[in-house]
Amino acid sequence: MSAGSGKSALADRLEAVQQEISHCAKRAGREIQDITLVAVSKTHTLEEVMAVAELGQRCFGENTIQDAMTKVPFMGGDTEWHFIGHLQSKKAGKLAGHFQWVHSVDSLKLAHKLSNAMLNHSSDSILNCLVQVNVSGEESKSGLMPEEVKPFLKEVLALDLPCLRWRGLMTIGVRGDEQQTRAAFRRLRELQQSCQSEFNLPGFDQLSMGMSGDYCLAIEEGATMIRVGTSIFGARN
């Protein structure tokens, strides 16, 4: 473990993030317990993840299967794993038994593959799913367009796919543009609330939005999950 990722440095950064979350929540009139911190450990080592877990952090996020498999199988059963990257349907089967959440569902084909994989793993298993939405419309980003979300939900709910629980929406902000990012986060919240009401889904209450550079904006706009990597682990390896 390098000096920048030593246990003391990790502890200091995690505490700073936790304090900032608390301050942001207070300013927004929100309760801190309504906001889940997902520590994004992509490209970082098992040793670093274990060190952060020892500090009490429970939720971790990975964005590739290959990198995740160097860590997930070696962590305790009380660790909650979130897959946050773009997921090819051909690799969906590898999530079963390892991840409790996937933040990046954006097609019926992927939903089918995930359901089959979970069912083959265990008929009692549940995968919490978020629909990824490309609110900003940037070509470099994955996800459904906002106007595609309700038709997608209508279709996927009608299929009643076993082992999948539809929990909410995810998006990525516009890098370096606070105004556009806030607008994107606000639009996602409005879309989530509309879907929850229209499809009568009480559990469709999660908003995954906000990363190291914009998680305070996300909290102000209603995020229930923030995905923070660099501010906790330091620069990527």
Average pLDDT value for residue range 225-236: 93
DSSP per position, 115-128: HHHHHHH-TT--EE
Is the pLDDT at 143 greater than 60, yes or no? Answer: yes
For the chain, the average pLDDT equals 94
Q: Where are the domains of the chain?
A: 3-233
- Kindly indicate the confidence band of residue 1, based on its pLDDT and cuts at 50, 70 and 90: low
What local confidence, expressed as pLDDT, does residue 77 receive? 85
Architecture of domain 3-233: Alpha-Beta Barrel (3.20)
CA atoms within 13 A on the CB side of 152: 22
What local confidence, expressed as pLDDT, does residue 3 receive? 45
Q: What is the pTM of this model?
A: 0.95
Average pLDDT value for residue range 107-113: 97
% of the chain beyond a pLDDT of 90: 88
H-type helices in the chain, by residue range?
Answer: 7-27, 46-54, 65-68, 108-121, 146-159, 178-198, 215-220, 230-233
Is the pLDDT at 162 greater than 60, yes or no? Answer: yes
Average pLDDT value for residue range 48-55: 96
CA atoms within 13 A on the CB side of 231: 21
